[in-house]
Structure formats: C-alpha cells, structure tokens
Structure 1
Amino acid sequence: MESVLSISNDLDTPHSVREIRTRFACWGLAVMKDQLVITTGYDENSILILDINGSEIRTIRPDNYQSNKLPYPFHVKINRSETMIYISYNDGRKMVAYNSSWNVLFTYTDQDMKVPYGIDTDREGNIYLCGSISCNVQHVSSDGKLIKLLVTKKEHMNEPLAIKFYNDMDRFFVTYSDCDVVEVYDMCD
C-alpha cells in the first residue's frame, strides 16, 4: 500500500518550511529586494545581509560620521520603495538612516531618547521611534529632524517597545514592556 502525504489546508496553522542559519544571534530582521537584513550585537555590532537562501552576501560594521562604533544595532525598518534603511541602536540615543548602498545619510540623536527600540515609517516617509527607557515615541522627519513627541513619560510610564502604522491610515499601534495591552493612537486632531 502506497503512503499518501497529507497536506493541511488549514491556513491558521503555520508550519516551518526550513531554517536559515546565521553566524550570530539575530536581533532585528527585515527583507529588502529578496535579501534578509539582520542586526546583531556580535561580530563588532554587525548588520548581516543574506540572500533568501541564507548565504551571506555582505557584513556591515557601521561607523558613524566620527568613525566611532555604533553599538548594538537593534530594530531595522526598510521604507516601501526599499531605498532607505533605518536602524535603531540600543546602546545610546541613535537611529541611523542608510541608503540602499549602505551609505550613512544621517544619524538622529536626541537627549530625550533613551534606548531606542521599535521603529516604523508612515506613508510620507516620516519616522517613528520608540524610546524604551525614556518612555516616549518620537515623530521624526524623513531627513532626521524631530517633529514632536507623540507619547511622553508623563502620559505613559511603561516602556514602548514596538510601533506599527496601520495600512495607509493616520493610526498607529504601540506595545509596551510588561504590559498586555496594545494601544491604538490616531494622528488626526
């Protein structure tokens, strides 16, 4: 009797297709032009670029304008047109914008930003950055200028960890450390 392979049509049940092994623990992950962009605090705080099969294409050990090491690249966000890469650096107050050739376009820093984590962009290309320890969410222009604080420590004492814009609306979601709530914010007045 021939065995028959059963294939589930249950779309609600995810299943692992395969694994992609990396040299180091992955902290952040994004996909750009069929390549995986992975951040890690190992190998001199590298950013690993892998093809979709897992072969390493490039290792980036970014320096800022003064050639000082940028410690602990954490979250990574790639804009819709895949022309800009934003990485928050967990040790310090930095978010760096790169072009698709991995040249630094600008470094965003702010005294009121402590331990940046989650990062997202809206349809106009503005950047939204969660300051975990500073308990805030900052709205930053596409060229790296602070527009305003959207969430402050006065309004919310928990540490924001992740932010995500909802489709093309002026609405975003924020998750917080040690909190079982996802807060929904509306940008409209």
Structure 2
Amino acid sequence: MYCKDHDEVCCTTCIALNHRSCTHVHSIPDEISELFDAKIQEDMTLYLQSRESRFKHIELKTTEAMKDLESSRKEADMMIDFAKQNLVAHIEKLSKQAKDEVGKEYLATKEQIVKKRQEAVEMTDDIRMKLIDFETLTGGNRSQQFVRMKIANKKLKEEKQMETALKCNAMTNTCISFEIDSRIQVFLQDIKTLGRLSFTRGTRRYTVDTIKDVNVKLQDDKATCDISGSCLIEDGPLLLTDSRNKKLKSVNIETMAVENVYTFGHIPYCLCSTSKDEVVVTFYKHSNFILFILFTAKPSHSRKVNINHNCFGIAYGDDKLYITDKAQTLYIHDMTGNELQKISTDSLGIALFSKIRDISFSDSMQCAVAVDESKGVIIFNDQYQHIARYCDPELQGAAAVCTDDEGNIFVCGYYSHNVLQLGYDGKKIVDVVGKSHGIPSPVSLCFDSSRQRLVVSPQNGRDIVKIIQLMY
C-alpha cells in the first residue's frame, strides 16, 4: 500500500492502524501505472549517482589526508629531535665557554700565587742570611754591630711591608666558584613546551582536468544570453542570472540542462544563496533593492528589501549580507536590510576601492574577499579589517571572485581572460585557467566544493557556461 498524504509505503495492517484518516491511499499493484513516474526514477538514479560520487571523493580525500597526517607527524617528530639536538649543542657550547673561563681564571690566579710564593721564598732566604750575618758580629766591634743593626732594621721595615702585601695577595682569589645564570633557570621554569604545535592543511594547487560547455539558451529567450551571476544551492542546482533575458535559470549540474526558470521585471545581475532553498538577487539598473527568491519545486518571490545605496555584487556569510555598490564602498547589512557597517578606506584613511565589483564570503576562513576592477583583490578578516591585497598586471579587470571550502580564493580577470588561485594571505598560488583554455572575458565565478568544479561565465561566450573540472 502507498499513502500519498504521508509519502509512505506500508502494509495493509499499518494502513488500517495509522492511516485510517488519510484520503489518498493506494494499492501499489493495482495502481502502479499511475503511481510510477519514470522521470522521478531517473532523477533519483542521477541523485544517487551524484551522492555516491561525492562520498567516493570524500573517501579518497580522507585516505590522502591520513597519509599527509602520518607524514606530517613524522616530520614534526624530526623537527622536535632537531630542536633538541640544537639545544643540547648550544648548551654544550655554553658549558665549554664556561669551563674555558674557569681554566683561564685558574691559570692566571695560579701564576700570581706561584710568583708570590717565590717572592716569599726569596725573602725567607734573605732574612736567614741577615740573621747569620748579624749573629757572627755578636761580641765583636760594637760600631759595626750598630751599623748592621740599623741597616737590618731598615730592611726589616721594608720586608714587613712586603710580608703584608704577600700575605694579603696570597690569601685572595684562591678559590674559584661558578653560579648558573639565574635568567636561564627562570626561562626554563617558564617554558612549558619545546615549541608551538599547529595544525594546517596543505595548500591545494588546482589544475584543469576537463572543460564542458553548457548551453543555457532557451527557446523562448528573446535575446542572446548574458550570464552575469552564478551560485550553487547546497545539494541542489546551479543558478544563473541571465541579465539580457531577465531570468533566473536553474541548471541540473549532472545533466547540464536548464530545468527551471524564474522571470523578473527588472534586469538581474548578481546573486548568492542564503540557504538550501533561498537566493537573494541584485539588479543592474534599478539597483536600490534586493529580492529574495525561494527556489523549491516552483520558484517564487519571497520578499523585497529596499536598500539605501546601489546594489551590485552580493555575498552571504555569518547571517549577514555583503553588498558592493560598483563604486567605492562595501556595505554589510543584516538579513532585514539594516546597514551594520560600510567600508571604503583602510586604517590610514586611504581609499580601498575605485570600482568594486564582486564579493565572496569564506565560511572556512570567516573572511570576506572583494574584487575591484583596477585595485585587484582585497581581503578582510572577521573584524572587517583589510589584511591583504593582490594587485598584479597578470590580473586585469578583476571581475568576480569565489572561494573553496579550505580558504583558497579564485578570481577572474575580464581583460586578462584568466582565473587565478590565491591564498588567504593574498599571495598567488597558481594560474588555474589561462587564455589557452578559451575563457574569453569571464564575468562570474562559483565553485562546487563537492565535485571540485569551477563554473565560469565568459562574457563573449554569451549562451555558453563553462563547467571546469579541477584536480590537484
């Protein structure tokens, strides 16, 4: 049995117990021709294949991650051993220096003691000779005794002074002691670890594997397509804004076919997803408002929010909207349209933008990345502070930006006909797409993290969107 009200298949007993009030209960064998939909089965097959592919990809990447983790642990252990060896070698060097200083002081002091000892021996001998000489005159000529006595007395005074000097010098600096530098003890007591432990992911360097063209022109389109914006809904379709035909088009990422359309009264330009079934769209000329669109089975207008400035590029992150005005300012709004902050200058008051275009928010790095047509890529931290910039002649006319789930940044150049991969620090990692790949004047980018696909909309391709399968 099948209960359509609850979309459940069950036995007759369950129908009788749990679905007695349901009005749309069917016997599967009797009504299979009406219940079975080959299109739904086809979609389910494609969906399951997509899910299988995603989990296989996760399995592969986790295996690679485990290998990298094991390798990094061994490298960290080697660094610890190396640090230990360096510390031991340095301590041994300090120990040798200290012993050399002790030896030097020992030799200098020993030399002084030996010298004084020799002087004392000489003085002892001199006094003994005087004593013998003085004793031989006893009972003799008194005049000579008197003279000898006075000479001896004078000599004794000199020798007494010498004795005092010898005694003081001999008893001083005869012991060597060593005391460790207290700063070393304090430092070692304060140190709780040999170094700082950090966990980092290896930088991916993407390259092009394959490129597929998707024609998004529909029979009822009145003009050649002009795809100005793109985004991916979680586990859902690729959404494209077709400015010239005033449409929001939904593309099945597996079949590469347009399956759903929403038509606007104004010219749509950029868009971003705010949830698994909602997007928000900006408009090219009537640009002082944004529209929220529910993109379920049948797309519908959710709500309109008026904004007090021009709206061009748009991104969603941390429950906020980041909106550019295609001039010199980046605005941050809450989800009801209230302005929270605007950014136009750096900490020194210097203008950050001249013609800001697109904006992207990286959930993994909690940062916003903006592109300016002439000033390149500008990166902000979670406090909206400008922390890095990339501006180079190889990126001309920066038009669009997006990020992967590891903080890598992709930016396309309208005039340089390329896509570059940058790091969070604003440094270039690699040229992902070049002129040889045939992406003329790209104007929009989005990244499919689950499939490692880069979606590029070339201005001169018009009806064609490029699906670029990347590898690393």
Q: TM-score, normalised by structure 1?
A: 0.83
Q: Name the larger-Rg structure.
A: 2
Contact 1:114 1:133 in 2 (8 A): yes
Partner residue in 2 for 1:54: 337
Contact 2:364 2:405 in 1 (8 A): no
Please give the alpha-carbon distance, in whole angstroms, between the structure 2 residues aligned to 1:66 and 1:26. 24
Please give the alpha-carbon distance, in whole angstroms, between the structure 1 residues aligned to 2:434 and 2:364. 31
Distance 1:65 1:144, change over 3 A: farther
Partner residue in 2 for 1:24: 309
Please give the alpha-carbon distance, in whole angstroms, between the structure 2 residues aligned to 1:135 and 1:173. 14
Return the letter of the residue paired with 1:75.
D
| SS of aligned partner of 1:16 | strand
Instruction: Give the counterpart of 1:98 among 355, 376, 380.
Output: 380
Please give the alpha-carbon distance, in whole angstroms, between the structure 2 residues aligned to 1:63 and 1:71. 13
Distance 1:109 1:54, change over 3 A: same
Q: CA offset at residue 183 of structure 1?
A: 1.4
Q: Cα RMSD between the aligned structures?
A: 2.2
Partner residue in 2 for 1:14: 299
Distance 1:109 1:82, change over 3 A: same
2:403 pairs with 1:109 = no
Partner residue in 2 for 1:86: 369
Distance 1:60 1:157, change over 3 A: closer
Return the letter of the residue paired with 2:361.
I
Q: CA offset at residue 178 of structure 1?
A: 3.2
2:320 pairs with 1:38 = no
Contact 2:329 2:353 in 1 (8 A): no
Distance 1:72 1:185, change over 3 A: same
Instruction: State which drifts further: 153-162 or 123-132.
Output: 153-162
Partner residue in 1 for 2:358: 75
| SS of aligned partner of 1:18 | strand
Partner residue in 2 for 1:135: 417
| SS of aligned partner of 1:154 | helix
Distance 1:102 1:178, change over 3 A: same
Partner residue in 1 for 2:59: none
Please give the alpha-carbon distance, in whole angstroms, between the structure 2 residues aligned to 1:169 and 1:54. 33
Partner residue in 2 for 1:151: 433
Distance 1:157 1:84, change over 3 A: closer
Partner residue in 1 for 2:285: none
Q: 1:175-186 residue pairs with structure 2 within 5 A?
A: 175-179=457-461, 180-186=463-469
Q: CA offset at residue 82 of structure 1?
A: 6.1
Return the letter of the residue paired with 2:390.
Y
| SS of aligned partner of 2:303 | coil
Please give the alpha-carbon distance, in whole angstroms, between the structure 2 residues aligned to 1:137 and 1:15. 34
Instruction: State which drifts further: 75-84 or 10-19.
Output: 10-19
Distance 1:12 1:76, change over 3 A: same
Instruction: State which drifts further: 61-70 or 179-188.
Output: 61-70
Instruction: Give the counterpart of 2:405 among 116, 123, 129.
Output: 123
Give the strand-richer structure, 1 or 2: 1
Instruction: State which drifts further: 20-29 or 166-175.
Output: 166-175
Q: Which runs of 5+ in 1 are unaligned?
A: 1-9
1:44-93 Cα offsets, whole Å, 9 max, x none, are x1112211111112222134878244212211110124611000012x14
Distance 1:142 1:116, change over 3 A: same
Distance 1:123 1:33, change over 3 A: closer
Please give the alpha-carbon distance, in whole angstroms, between the structure 2 residues aligned to 1:98 and 1:72. 17
Q: CA offset at residue 33 of structure 1?
A: 2.1
Return the letter of the residue paired with 1:149.
D
Distance 1:37 1:134, change over 3 A: same
Return the letter of the residue paired with 2:436.
K
| SS of aligned partner of 1:137 | strand
Please give the alpha-carbon distance, in whole angstroms, between the structure 2 residues aligned to 1:19 and 1:86. 26
Contact 2:317 2:362 in 1 (8 A): no
Instruction: State which drifts further: 54-63 or 94-103.
Output: 54-63
Q: Which runs of 5+ in 2 are unaligned?
A: 1-294
> How many correspondences in the alignment?
177
Partner residue in 1 for 2:165: none
